[in-house]
Homo-oligomer: A and B are copies of this chain.
Amino acid sequence: MNALDFTHDPAAQSWVTSANADGSDFPLQNLPYARARSAGSHQDWRIVVGIGDQALDLALAAQRGRWSSAIQVLLEPLARGDLNAFMAQPKAARLALRHALFEALRAGSPQQASLEAALRPLRLLEFSLPARIGDYTDFYAGIHHAVTVGKLFRPDNPLLPNYKWVPIGYHGRASSVVVSGTPLRRPWGQRKGPNDEQPQFAPSQRVDHELELGLWVAQGNALGEPIDIHQAEDHLFGVSLFNDWSARDIQPWEYQPLGPFLAKNFGSTVSPWIVTMEALAPFRCPLERSADDPQPLPYLSSAANEVGGGLDVHLEVHLSTAARRAAQLPAERLAHSNAKHMYWTAAQLLTHHASNGCNLQPGDLLGTGTISGPLPEQAGSLLELTQGGRQAIALEGGESRTFLQDGDELQLKAWAERAGARRIGFGPCAGQILPALTRS
């Protein structure tokens, strides 16, 4: 885990005054990375750091700021718009840049005058994916999700025997991971009900969301070389919100024997901001385990991981329907959860992934799987909230939903807060479902 240092001082303030406001997602203690440019422009993408309601453009900051030569070297790939190259740096280097940015943006910094011109208001920016995603893997670490979904199919045996031994995961589609705000078309697909004579190919009627975190890989490993659990945290760059949209009617017909495919790969939405592991240091926690859970096998065990491998991050799902937007009503909260409900830590997911020698690369994205809590209102998908689509949920104002309708916009939110630490937020992760394409 990361030790706390001066960048976690809750009293520290920024000369970017909006960062000091209560409830700001991006106080001085956060300093998340994104890739942005002026909205609607064709400018080059810039790596930016979020601070209050502003983004520090690292290309401009590298030019205008006064930095040590070591920091100038670290800024160089970032000034080119290449976050992956920075992700590949050792943890000490990443920490050094955090320290330098914190000092530069801190109230009273002599850099204020030179860096003010490197700030750009967030509201004027558009975002791309923050990094090139070489491979995207989705895990299944939300045990309450696994149990609830398992109950729908196997009431007497909801959790498969491997669940508490193997961090279950599968490869997803990297090309269709999109940044927050990118609308997605309702997918077509094959489905077959139990009483249908043969399958039909039609637009999915059961489009759902999945509330996840996305873990970004920092330094990778060479093919054939595993990552020891004691070093795993050093290979984690940071965390985003992640919505693994799912077509629940395509999945049951296609997924045997090789797992989900077209039910998932029509699109997955990631938030533009990466909250670094360093920013999350004050919000680490033990995982919730019960006394009868097996000890992890030695390759997945470390004392530090067991004590502080978890993430105490609040999670929420909000739905905005077309009718609510027309009536100028805010989105309605569908569920709230917390990342501490994961059965496996981020370090365990990463170590397991590389345990057979599979090579991870900077910018790879690991989805946690749907992070539901133990209570019904903590369910991270409509599949769970509606008991497999059998019971519609009532929305304020008379609408109801089993699955998502055309025009529905889903927004995930996350933040971390704790006594003695400055609250940090993740920024939004939003996506809208467009009508299916018309086909002959």
A-side residues, CB < 8 A to B, are 134-135, 137-138, 140, 160, 162, 165-166, 168-176, 178, 184-185, 187-190, 192, 198-201, 223-226, 247, 250, 253-262, 265-267, 294, 297-299, 352-353, 355-361, 364, 434, 437, 439
Contacts and interface: CB of A to CB of B under 8 A. Distances in A.
Contacts of A135: 173-175
Contact of A355 (B188, B364, B434): B188
What are the 3 A-B residue pairs with the smallest beta carbon separation, nearest first? A259-B259, A187-B356, A171-B171
A20 to B, nearest CB: 40
Contacts of A225: 437
Contacts of A294: 198
Given A162-B254, A256-B162, A260-B258, A361 B201 contact: no
How many copies of this protein are present in the complex? 2
A175 B359 contact: yes
Contacts of A174: 134-135, 174
Nearest to A437: B224
9 contacts: A135-B175, A165-B198, A170-B259, A171-B173, A176-B223, A225-B437, A250-B356, A255-B259, A266-B358
Contacts of A360: 175
State the main secondary structure of chain A at its contact with B. Answer: loop
A258 B168 contact: yes
A439 B351 CA distance: 14
A169 B353 CA distance: 21
Contact of A226 (B188, B258, B299): B188
Contact of A254 (B168, B192, B201, B253): B168
B188 A261 contact: no
A352 B299 CA distance: 39
Contacts of A173: 135, 171, 358
A259 B260 contact: yes
Contacts of A200: 297
Nearest to A265: B358
Nearest to A256: B160
B262 A358 contact: yes
B297 A201 contact: yes
Nearest to A171: B171
Contacts of A358: 173, 175-176, 262, 265-266
B171 A223 contact: no
Given A135-B175, A165-B253, 4 more contacts: A175-B359, A176-B359, A189-B356, A299-B439
A262 B355 contact: yes
A354 to B, nearest CB: 9
Nearest to A253: B162
Contact of A258 (B169, B199, B353, B356): B169
A353 B262 CA distance: 7
A194 to B, nearest CB: 11
A232 to B, nearest CB: 15
Contacts of A357: 184-185, 187-188, 266-267, 437
